[in-house]
A and B are shown apart, each in its own frame.
Chain A
Amino acid sequence: MIRLRKLARAASLLTTPLAPEDILSLFNPVFSARQLRGVVTKVVPETADSATIFFRPGRGWQAHLAGQWARIGVELDGVRHWRSYSLSAPAGQDPAITVSDMGAVSGALVRGTKPGDVLFLAPPQGDFVLPEHPRPLLMLTAGSGITPVMSMIRTLVPHRPDSDVVLIHTARTAADAIFREELAELADQFPNFRVTHWFTGGHGRLDFTSASDLDRLCPDWRQRAAYACGPEGFLDDAETLWEAEAAEAPEAPSAVEGSLTIERFSTKLAGGEGHDGGLVTFEASDREVEADGDTPLLDVGEDAGILMPSGCRMGICHSCLIPLRAGHVRDLRTDEVHGEPGQLIQTCVSAAAGPVNLDL
């Protein structure tokens, strides 16, 4: 390793101002001095509008924990777009993402990816991961929310046949339920793993307003460490139910038993209300853009061709922070207008409220 670095430094004497990786990338596309990349090795269709994409990452990738997500960069008509996707492969194996077609980027990934394509990557992150010590688990998933949980199940169930896991997965129809066959096989093979599919097309939504649905599907749910992943409403309802149970409980439940861990895909933004924007100045990039009051500054910068740091695009991971030099921004989640010079702004959930100067 150290010798490699010395070699690279010696080689850079001959390649400056390029890095040796820039030359090596002529022969192997995963080499880059700046940007972690991966090469697609296999694409497996899952349902009519979802697919699993396996890839071999270049140097700099860290092995993922079951349940984590990674940022994936894709090029649409020559322009790089970044989105976050949960890794569905079990920990310890080559990474894979399972993507459902829900927009331009995911659509291109599901329908346009082929082996040999290059994906741009950021290392896996996230703390929606399995508990350190074995305990009974309840997994609540809806739609593509199954992806991180699938990684957990694939990691845990076959290697610890004694682990007690209940999965309740809701999907519109049987045909829309990702991983249905594999889950059924696992349930056959491992009696301590139980799967319930709930099809909203027939039964309507899983009702979290009272505990009755859950009591029926998993009577001991209160004793389990619960994980939930799915759309906004699904998670909000689950959170409300768990909070209500906690309030009613005769004694405070222990930190793990009866806990709920959630993973969100998106956040409601207060956009589209016609707020006043302003002139956004990216000082170091020396660029000015007129922005409306409802567009995240991240999108404003990206559309102007500025290399914006970005992450989850929903205000949770803080990868997109940029120092504010002057002006005010509006938090699109809360509608709050704020801004102190030097304050770090989450550009993915902040819009201009009047003229804004950013240190980028």
Chain B
Amino acid sequence: MTIVSDKPDVSEEAPKGDPSPSKASAAVKTRPGALAESGSPLVRPDAAAHLSDEQVAELGRELDAIKDDILAKRGASDAAYIRRVIKVQRGLEITGRATLLVSKHKAAWVAGTAMLSFAKILENMELGHNILHGQWDWMRDPDIHSTTWDWDFVTPTRSWQHTHNDLHHRWTNVVGKDNDIGYNLLRMDPSQEWKPFNLGNPLYNAILAPVFEWGIALYDLELPDYKEGKKSKEAMTRDLKALGLKALKQFTKDYAATPAVAMLTGSGKQALYGTLTANAVRNVWAHAIIFCGHFPDGTDTFTEEMVEGETRGDWYVRQMIGSANISGSKFMHLMSGNLSHQIEHHLFPDLPSNRYAEVAPKVQEICKRYGLPYTTGPLLKQVGSTWAKVFKLALPPKKA
């Protein structure tokens, strides 16, 4: 009897040319758990340069303890929370959509569009984003699970989970590895080479905001990887098919089926404007919140040397100094899908979102004690800061 001691290579069984699931995931599977056991990265980021290896290791242990504390407490009240949000969201969505059916009355249009906008924001952020992260997988409820959930957003969940959960969260803010820095469209870091194309930075961003979901869908196709031959034709065809099907269903629901039913009351055109507006509102909001996560002043980006030999503690440090929070009311946190706790989310991407607020003061205290920045600010200030960067980086770097 032989016992296989190495990690078995199963690539032979994968369909030819198909990078998933085994081969591609083997490459990106280097999760926090598989980080270096000890030591330090080749270069430690400036903001953390004053910390010794031992201090970074201790910081890692403290953050692990915070996570373990939540894992021990997680239970029935959390399950009740996510089910409550789902109920409220679905109630808002069907009421909003029903109200739009009589939207030739102006008040009905305003109320219906507002309800549908709120519903779409909740659905996208507190539900979709977080459930697709696996934050609620521990419940083992097939109705609320990262492998079964689908969202009211054009990009297919599998594609998004790959670029977001695997690539962005693993390589947060590492220039050249995390394409979320500008989404292959904007120049969002001074170390990205300036090209004349970048003069349009503010224009592209203004156009992107109201159609953000389509931008993300396009981004998730990983066209640059395909052009460079890193993504196979088969994988591309598969992703395009998935996107086409999803986009068709989304388009039909909002821009054909809902207005068609509303035509029965003579509100067809108004209902169409209503769903268009609701999608645009959700897109602009999601765009704003997501840009506030890693682009405001005070967030760092990193070089590939900084992740070479990274330990768990260093990984935590990078998540903290590469992310920014948004301060505000409980309602704002809910509407942002708790991405206003971006720092905590990046430290613990699969902890249930309703627990981030509880964790935040502890994380902030740790940052203070270790002399690390903890970037946060009100929404308008953070949005202003990201736009300032969009404008500034449109221009070529000043010659020294």
Interface assignment of B268: CB less than 8 Å from any CB of chain A = no
Q: Indicate if B148 sits at the interface (CB-CB under 8 A).
A: yes
Q: Is A32 an interface residue (CB 8 A)?
A: yes
Contacts of A341 in B (CB 8 A): 10, 13
Chain B CB within 8 A of A273 CB: no
* Cα A18 to Cα B257 with chains together (Å): 15
Q: Are B5 and A307 in contact (CB under 8 A)?
A: no
Given contacts A80-B139, A305-B134, contact A355 B7 (CB under 8 A): yes
B147 within 8 A of A: yes
Could you say which of A16, A305, A355 contacts B138, with CB atoms under 8 Å apart?
Answer: A305
Query: Does A284 lie at the interface of the complex (its beta carbon under 8 Å from any beta carbon of B)?
Result: yes
B263 part of interface (Cβ distance < 8 Å): no
Provide the residues of chain B in CB contact with A5, threshold 8 Å: none
Interface string of A149-178 (1 = CB under 8 A from B): 000000000000000000000000000000
Interface segment, one of B89-97, B105-113, B198-206, B212-220: B89-97
Contact between A307 and B147 (Cβ–Cβ < 8 Å)? yes
**Chain B positions within 8 Å of A26 at CB level:** 87, 90-91, 94
* B25-A307 in contact (CB<8A): no
Interface bits A18-53 vs B (CB < 8 Å: 1, else 0): 100011001000001111000000000000000000
CB distance from B98 to the nearest CB of A (A): 10
* A-side contacts of B140, CB under 8 Å: 79-81, 302, 305, 307
Which A residues lie within 8 Å of B7 (CB)? 279, 281, 355
A288: interface (CB < 8 Å): yes
Q: In the complex, are the beta carbons of B33 and A288 less than 8 A apart?
A: yes
CB-based contact B4/A14 at 8 Å: no
User: B142's contact among A14, A18, A34, A281, by CB below 8 Å, is which?
Assistant: A34
- Does B249 reach chain A (CB closer than 8 Å)? yes
Contact status of A357 and B75, CB under 8 A, knowing A283-B21, A305-B140: no
Residues on the A chain within 8 Å of B94, using CB: 23, 26
Residue A325 interfacial (CB < 8 Å): yes
How far is B2's CA from A337's CA once the two chains are assembled, in angstroms?
10
CA distance A75 to B83 in the complex (A): 13
Q: Hey, which chain B residues are within 8 Å of A18, CB to CB? A: 90, 150
Is B239 among interface residues, defined by CB-CB distance under 8 A? no
| B75 with A77: CB separation less than 8 A | yes
> Count of B residues near A, CB < 8 Å?
51
CA distance A329 to B116 in the complex (A): 51
User: Hey, which chain B residues are within 8 Å of A79, CB to CB?
Assistant: 75, 79, 138-140
Q: Does B264 sit within 8 A of A, measured CB to CB? A: no
Q: Which of A126-147 contact B (CB under 8 A)?
A: none
Bound state CA distance, A341 and B29, in angstroms? 21
Interface assignment of A306: CB less than 8 Å from any CB of chain B: yes
B152 and A17 form a contact (CB under 8 A): yes
Q: Is the CB of A326 within 8 A of B137?
A: no
Q: Is A78 among interface residues, defined by CB-CB distance under 8 A?
A: yes
Nearest opposing residue in chain A for B250, CB measure: A16
Name the residue on A nearest B81 (C-beta): A78
In the complex, the answer to whether A22 meets B90 with C-beta atoms within 8 Å is yes
Q: Is A248 an interface residue (CB 8 A)?
A: no
Of the candidates B3, B13, B78, B148, the one whose C-beta lies within 8 Å of that of A307 is: B148
Residue numbers in B under 8 Å from A123 (CB-CB): none
B252 and A13: CB pair below 8 A?
yes
Chain A residue with Cβ nearest B246: A17
User: Within 8 Å CB of A14, what residues of B?
Assistant: 97, 253, 257-258, 261
Known A80-B140, A355-B8; judge A75-B91 contact (CB<8 A).
no
Query: A353 on the interface (CB 8 Å rule)?
Result: yes
Nearest-neighbour CB distance to chain A for B262, whole angstroms, equals 11
- Given known pairs A13-B257, A325-B10, the reply for A75 and B3 (CB within 8 Å) is no
C-alpha gap A357/B29 in the complex (Å): 14
A271 within 8 A of B: no
Q: Which one, B22, B143, B250, B261, contacts A32 given CB within 8 A? A: B143
Question: Is B143 a contact of A326 with CB atoms below 8 Å?
Answer: no
Cα distance A209–B74 when bound, in Å?
51
- A selection of 21 A-B contacts at a CB cut-off of 8 Å is A13-B249, A14-B258, A18-B150, A23-B94, A75-B76, A78-B77, A78-B139, A79-B75, A79-B138, A79-B140, A284-B147, A288-B31, A305-B139, A305-B140, A325-B13, A326-B4, A326-B8, A328-B3, A337-B1, A355-B8, A357-B10
State the 7 A-B residue pairs at the shortest beta-carbon distance, nearest first.
A326-B8, A305-B137, A78-B79, A17-B150, A77-B75, A80-B140, A13-B257
A34-B143, A325-B22, A328-B3 provided; 16 other pairs, C-beta below 8 A?
Answer: A13-B257, A18-B150, A26-B94, A32-B143, A35-B142, A35-B143, A78-B74, A78-B138, A79-B140, A80-B139, A286-B29, A327-B4, A327-B8, A353-B3, A354-B3, A354-B4
B residues with a Cβ closer than 8 A to A are 1, 3-10, 13, 21-22, 25, 29, 31, 33, 74-80, 87, 90-91, 94, 97, 134, 137-143, 145, 147-148, 150-152, 166, 246, 249-250, 252-253, 257-258, 261
Binding site for B on A (CB under 8 A): 13-18, 22-23, 26, 32-35, 75, 77-81, 279, 281, 283-286, 288, 302, 305-307, 325-328, 337, 341, 353-355, 357
